[in-house]
Amino acid sequence: MSKKRIVIKIGSSSLTSIDGTLSPLKLAKFCHAFAEFKKAGHDLIVVSSGSVAAGFKEMGYPSRPVTVRAKQAAAAVGQTLLMQQYRFQLTQYGLIPAQVLLTRHDFRDAEHYKNVSSSLSELLKRGIIPIINENDSTAVEELTFGDNDMLSALISGVMHADMLLLMTDIDGLYNKNPLLYPEAKKYKKITNIDEELFSQTDGTTTAVGTGGMRAKLKAAQAAQEMGASVYISTFRESESILKITEFSGEGTYIVPDTSRQMKTKKQWIAFHASSKGSIVLDKGASNAILNEGSSLLHVGVTDVSGEFSTGDVIDAYDEQGSLIGKGQAHLTAEKLRSVLKNESTASSIVIHRDQWVPMK
């Protein structure tokens, strides 16, 4: 059997007791499953919620806090307690966990993005299990992932994981909310995530979680686009991680449209980099770069907005105003405007095809 690499995201609802506090028993069961998977020789990355659940009682709160300040404080206390539990359980199997806290900034900056990949790769090389969480104690809204579902999807992409496991409190994706509609049908396998599927999902959250099924579907869509299969279900002791990766689980599988994985550089352009400007393309240029695999030449550009430098990421729109892709600029905004104004006959590349990502 070939070596597998998976990312498993564990939601707060899968790690907590009825009162909303961290359950050492539930965490221990996950760690046992991790040990079995690692013993088989595979790579494992864990994205774990639970820091607020672990810390709010220690802070003296009678229940899970609701204000941002209180949740950040509880997360700061709870993150150490969460890691203590992981270390205690995993060391019984001879495994070492490593704490990794991330924010959006670690993905938006190209150099930081490379460092995330390099650091996680070195940990896996040494047989260590990265335990990743968002840095909830200091993150501001514009630098958050929204929930650990999307964080786990982005990690599965940058690490070119074979599969992303989203562990939640519902055993799969249904066409209706199964808690409200007993006749709801569960999807076994999904290949295309469309607006109809999104309309069927419930965007609400649990009492201890931040991401509903809609958030999981968005994360699955991102992971799928980056080449990873996705599994959504609840955790069962009788269902090993290895069994799940062999597509024998009882939950819902979402498989990529193609076996080709998006290159790490293109992932950064598509999902992480902040756009510094935009351009509008005529019909011919839109078709050439979307359907013919061509680089974008200046002759197809009809408008330029913003100020950007060479290497900055810019958005490309068609004549109808729809975003059709993103790419790294080969010309500065000033140079591009100058070229367009002078109507030069020599073709200048605006975005090279190797640094272009279609968005439709």
Annotated binding site: which residue ranges?
9, 49, 136, 148, 168-169
Cα distance between the two ends of the chain: 36
Could you tell me which of 8, 13, 12 has the C-alpha nearest to residue 37?
8
Could you tell me which of 180, 283, 284, 265 has the C-alpha nearest to residue 226?
265
Angstrom distance (rounded) from CA 232 to CA 243:
14
Q: Cβ(196)–Cβ(183) under 8 Å?
A: no
Tokens representing residue 33 in the block: 């499953």
* Residues annotated within a binding site for substrate: 49, 136, 148
Angstrom distance (rounded) from CA 148 to CA 134:
7
| Residues 6+ positions from 326 with CB-CB distance below 8 Å | 269, 270, 273, 275, 313, 314, 315, 316, 356, 357, 359
- For residue 348, how many C-alpha atoms fall within 13 Å in the half-sphere facing its CB? 18
Angstrom distance (rounded) from CA 321 to CA 136:
36
* Residues annotated within a binding site for ATP: 9, 168-169
